[in-house]
Amino acid sequence: MRLRTGLALPFGVLLACSPGLGCRPASPAERLAREIAGAYPERAAPTGVVRTFDIEAREAELPLVDGGKLRVWAYNGQVPGPELRIRLGETLRVRFTNRLPQPTTIHWHGVRVPNGMDGVPSVTQPPVEPGATFVYEFTPKDAGTFWFHPHVRSSEQVERGLYGVLIVEDRAPAPYARDVVWVLDDWLLDETRQIFGAFNTPHDLMHDGRWGNFVTVNGRRDTALAVRGGERIRLRLLNASNARIYAPDFGALEPQVIAVDGLYLARPIPLGRFELAPGNRLDLDITLPSAPASRSIPVVDTFYGNMPNHLADVVIDGAAAGPPPRFPSPAHARVPSWSAGLSIPPTKEFHLDARRGGSYGIEWTINGQAFAGHEHHAPPMLTMDRGGWVRLRFINDSYRLHPIHLHGMFFRLLARNGAPVDEPFFRDTVLMHSKETIDIGLVPLDAGKWMMHCHILEHAEAGMMTLFEVRG
């Protein structure tokens, strides 16, 4: 652990002290590192309760999209997969069996797990071969909305239907009338209304990955959330698409954002326009009107404002018993601003681009390197010290979209194209637009080898992945 003991002196000078070396004034990066204290727990606090789930990945035929029989790959025969709900402090044990015709793994997106449970093939575990089993076991450190999906050939396996939500409830959950999950996905179906069987096509690779022709919420195009007027609900959104970005618009409902990528905000903020990229989660606190102008409120995606997509409906049926309950939205004790971090030079820069070559004809690269899937033993592109503050700069040299995702740690977005951005929350995934440069700040707290990749799964599959190592 390299977080040094800090001493706050009267006039605000911080000292960095290390055994045998004495004390000196803390450097700017050391001061920023200390701001992580209290932002989220450094380690898990297991209560001793173990929650065991059996999960099997196998082929299935399900009435998805419009009710037709869709041949998919599914966890426990369901798409979305089973909703795993545990309480903070409980240990999750998943006995996983692979009944697919391919090797696979489960990655716990956004969960700060011990490195060996991260589900990255040949890096944190061998791939789970067809017929084989693997036990995932860990105690989440954070309450929130997380998800799980394969990390082997994910552009095919996630697209075929392998994903599920993991909800870690607070020790004492806030008294929402309902706590509901909406998993957003899109499907590219062929003329027989089955999953289009060509993956990682040159078209997908040259553009923003595979965008489907049917958008679903919880697997259906007719999802309607039945609520009562005056109720206060918690709605958790997950984008499980390979590539499609959503900007959910709730019309007159005016949701408040209480969590992004699992973690609570310092205080709720109005939804406004939020670009929900693949991998992102958004937890909303919505109070339904008691006398709505209309009983059915459509929720649409306005990412491309000129062609909104209908996602689902909120249907208000009857009035609630009393006035909306008053309780504070759950919030997070501390979210460091790290605005001073922009005056420190970036620790490292990453250039994102494409070139001809590789097994798909096009490769997506990070600093000129394409991760070929068998380079797990290559040296990590970045080595960080546990507990140290770093600023990373990502430069999109391409015209395409790249939702950048880091395993094993949360970060704050500091700037877009050099202009400071003040998002009062952490993320594990951030969307980069065409030719954009972003800066992020973070303090890694868990040792191990963690992936950094684009969550447009076709881009990742074609090379836009690399490893970061956290020492300590």
Interface positions with ligand C2O (CB under 6 A): 107, 109, 149, 151, 279, 405, 407, 451, 453, 455
List the single partner that 456 binds among Cu ion, ligand C2O, none, CB under 5 to 8 Å by kind: Cu ion
Strand partners, 169: 87
Tell me the DSSP string of 125-191.
B--B-TT-EEEEEE--SS-EEEEEE--SSHHHHTTTT--EEEEEE-SS----SEEEEEEEEEE-B-T
Residues 426-465 that bind Cu ion (CB under 5 A): 454, 456, 459
Q: What is the dihedral of CA 52, 58, 62, 64, to 10 degrees?
A: 80
Ranked by CB distance to ligand C2O, the top (closest) residue is 109
For the record, the structure tokens of 414 come out as 């500091």
CB nearer to ligand C2O: pick between 209 and 279: 279
Q: How far is the CB of 74 from ligand C2O (least distance, A)?
A: 18
Least distance in Å: CB of 102 to Cu ion? 23
412 binds, among ligand C2O, Cu ion, none (CB under 5 to 8 A by kind): none
Q: For residues 149 and 232, which CB has a smaller minimum distance to ligand C2O in the complex? A: 149
454 binds, among Cu ion, ligand C2O, none (CB under 5 to 8 A by kind): Cu ion
Shortest distance in whole angstroms from residue 159 CB to Cu ion: 15
CB of 387 to ligand C2O, least distance (A): 23
- Residue 141's binding partner among Cu ion, ligand C2O, none (Cβ under 5 to 8 angstroms by kind) is none
Q: What is the dihedral of CA 38, 42, 48, 54, to 10 degrees?
A: 120
d(CA 461, CA 455) in angstroms, rounded, equals 10
- Span of 9-17, 76-84, 399-407, 408-416 interacting with Cu ion by CB under 5 A: 399-407
| Distant-in-sequence, close-in-space partners of 10: CB < 8 Å, separation ≥ 6 | none
Question: What is the b/e burial string over 338-364, where b = at least 16 CB atoms within 10 angstroms of the residue's CB?
Answer: beebbebebbbebebbbeeebebebbb
Q: Which does 210 bind (CB under 5 to 8 A by kind): ligand C2O, Cu ion, none?
A: none
Total Cβ atoms within 10 A of residue 43: 10
402 binds Cu ion (CB under 5 A): yes
The amino acid sitting at 83 is E
459 binds, among Cu ion, ligand C2O, none (CB under 5 to 8 A by kind): Cu ion
**Is-contact 137 90, C-beta < 8 A?**
no
451 binds, among ligand C2O, Cu ion, none (CB under 5 to 8 A by kind): ligand C2O
Contact 211, 245 (CB under 8 A): no
- 284 versus 451: smaller Cβ distance to ligand C2O: 451
Is 3 a binding residue for Cu ion by CB under 5 A? The answer is no
Using rule CB under 5 A, residue 215 touches Cu ion: no
Residue reference for tokens 């990682």: 200
Cβ proximity of 390 and 441 under 8 Å: yes
Smallest gap from residue 120 Cβ to ligand C2O (A): 7
109 binds, among Cu ion, ligand C2O, none (CB under 5 to 8 A by kind): ligand C2O
In the complex, minimum distance from the CB of residue 166 to ligand C2O, in angstroms, rounded to a whole number = 12
Binding site for Cu ion (CB under 5 A): 402, 454, 456, 459
